[in-house]
Chains A and B, each alone.
With several copies, the nearest count.
Chain A
Amino acid sequence: MSHRSLAADGLVVGYERGRRVLDGASVSVPAGRRLAILGANGSGKTTLLRCLSGALEPAAGSVAVDDQLLRHSRRGLRAHRQEVQLVLQDPDDQLFSASVAQDVSFGPLNLGLDDDAVRERVAEALRLLAVDGLAARPTHQLSYGERKRVAIAGAVAMRPCVLLLDEPTAGLDPSAVAEALAALTRLEASGTTVVMSTHDVDLALRWADEVAVVVDRRVVQGDPATMLGDDDLLARARLDRPWALTVGARLQEIGLLADGALPRDVAALLAALPDRPGVVT
């Protein structure tokens, strides 16, 4: 499997007449690069992801995988869904079956694979998400974090090129977040491009290669450090500046950090700090 790129251009979406949620929003997910989507509550992050996945047909605009335009016909959607999978925020919206292995088998079966191939895909997906121990467990007995990872496994079993995740870390404890991110890294290694929406600016800064901010019915996309250091954009999007940028900038100001790229997380900051005051390496 090789990385594929996904792009949306000029999306217009309105749920009710008159009011538009997105109006000319464009975003591109370059193959193999991590994209984080940020934005205030109700700005349209989920709406954007639903358009990208084909779940929602925009009133105008287009979505394409590697320049192949998505058509909202039965066949067009079928083809698109083999490339792009969306994992919803609430795992209970995705888990319909009584047992974990059964649930994950749903997608591959619908692809028309034979039973052995399905079983193999299920095993692979559960392994990538590190939930293989849960295969025979009933869905309703799982913890929230476990349900979240099983829901991701259900999408992964479709072997999509692009995996879209709506707030995959919301409601998880710090260790569970770390485990989820590790699972996503394994997925990337197997050729999947990962996109996530999140409210956590610190996470976006340290995880993403690119950031897309949904603001004023459009999307602004760019480098995480630049975008999340732009106070004007942050204010319009009701976001906070990540602490690492603020603290890093100040430390540069007082000459403790070398000029140039700011560290994006604690580890990078500690590594960049000199051992003694006043010595900038």
Chain B
Amino acid sequence: MTGLAVDDAAWASAWRHRSPGDKLLLCVGLVVCALVLPAWPGSVLVGAVAVVLALGPARVPAATFGRAVRWPLTFVAVSALTTVVTVDGGLGWAPDAAARAGSLVGHALAGSAAVLLLATTTPMADLLPALRRLRVPAAVVEVASVTYRLLFVLLQSLNTIREAQTARMGYSSVRRSYRSSGVLAAAVLTRSWDRARRMQEGLAGRGLETGLRVLPEVLPSSRLFLACSVLALAGIVSASLAVA
């Protein structure tokens, strides 16, 4: 519906009604493990746990998950390669290049998978109220919420206007593409102003002057889920330390 597959997955996930706090604990725990534990076997374990949880109990479509890691994969590949190449006196490999590259790729992929587990199971609408508990000011959370909502409205405008321009050959050469892109950006910007103005009126009737407070959904925390999370994290840590 929206073109943001990760967001669609989050709203449809089997973990949608789990407490965002629970999921944050698990996923942030995994992210930290991915970062600080040695790549073997820490990263491998973290990555495996994240992928299994996402595709298993959280029922995230494998294709969505797979496509989402494609982007970090590109960055990681290019950067890891750059890191282990030396240019001193001709191109060459740094000492222990393979091990270093492997470790970098391992950390990054495990971390990305852990963040994706959070992203594909927890919609922004649940995460943003959770930020309030991390003492982020209400005004900032409200601005972020409006950003999230308007994102979809503007993306829709962007795609429709671009389609209309394409139909009239607006992208048939590089020069025309640039012109059309400039017009497109301007159209979306003026729309965003217009939209904000009209929303202001749409919301004034419901009491905008006191801020944009809404009642977040009550998503109770699960002791079982927390216990399993802690157990899994402890397992990863002890296994890694044992091997190291």
Contacts and interface: CB of A to CB of B under 8 A. Distances in A.
B203 interface: yes
B158 to A, nearest CB: 10
B201 A88 contact: yes
A138 B206 contact: no
Given A96-B187, A97-B145, A154 B61 contact: no
Contacts of B204: 55
Interface string A221-264: 00000000000000000000000000000000000000000000
A86 B205 CA distance: 7
A23 interface: no
A98 B148 contact: yes
A225 to B, nearest CB: 33
Interface in A59-85: 74, 78, 81, 85
Contacts of A279: none
Given A96-B184, A138-B125, A111 B207 contact: yes
A34 B17 CA distance: 42
Given A78-B172, A110-B207, A96 B167 contact: no
Most chain-B CB neighbours within 10 Å: which of A50, A78, A97? A97
A81 B145 contact: no
A210 interface: no
A99 B217 contact: yes
B205 A110 contact: no
Contacts, number: 158
B58 to A, nearest CB: 17
A43 interface: no
A93 B199 contact: yes
B2 A93 contact: no
A90 B197 CA distance: 13
Given A98-B148, A110-B206, A90 B198 contact: yes
A81 B206 contact: yes
Given A97-B183, A102-B214, A17 B61 contact: yes
Chain A, interface residues (CB within 8 Å), range: 35 or more
Nearest to A109: B213
Interface string A125-144: 00000000000111111000
A115 B164 CA distance: 22
B8 interface: yes
B1 A16 contact: yes
Most chain-B CB neighbours within 10 Å: which of A55, A94, A101? A94
B163 A55 contact: yes
A97 B207 CA distance: 14
A155 B215 contact: no
Nearest to B152: A140
Contacts of A90: 160, 198
A125 to B, nearest CB: 12
B206 A155 contact: yes
A104 B6 CA distance: 25
Contacts of B202: 88, 93-94, 96
Contact of B11 (A97, A138, A154): A138
Contact of B214 (A50, A106, A140): A106
Nearest to B191: A92
A175 B226 CA distance: 47
A106 B11 contact: no
B28 interface: no
Contacts of B199: 93-94, 96
Contact of A96 (B165, B169, B176, B216): B165
Q: Which 3 residue pairs of A and B lie closest in terms of their CB atoms, listed nearest first?
A: A110-B207, A98-B125, A107-B168
Interface of A: 15-17, 50, 53-55, 74, 78, 81, 85-86, 88, 90, 92-99, 101-103, 105-107, 109-111, 115, 118-119, 122, 136-141, 154-155, 158
Given A99-B217, A154-B206, A158-B205, 15 more contacts: A54-B205, A55-B166, A55-B204, A81-B206, A88-B201, A96-B186, A98-B148, A103-B214, A109-B213, A110-B207, A111-B169, A111-B207, A140-B2, A141-B2, A155-B206
Interface of B: 1-2, 7-8, 11, 16-17, 61, 63, 123-125, 128, 145-146, 148-149, 152-153, 157, 160-161, 163-170, 172, 176, 183-184, 186-187, 191, 195, 198-199, 201-210, 212-217
27 contacts: A16-B8, A17-B61, A55-B166, A55-B201, A55-B204, A78-B169, A81-B206, A85-B206, A88-B201, A93-B195, A93-B198, A97-B183, A97-B212, A102-B215, A105-B214, A106-B165, A106-B170, A106-B203, A107-B207, A109-B213, A109-B215, A118-B215, A119-B215, A139-B149, A140-B153, A141-B1, A155-B206
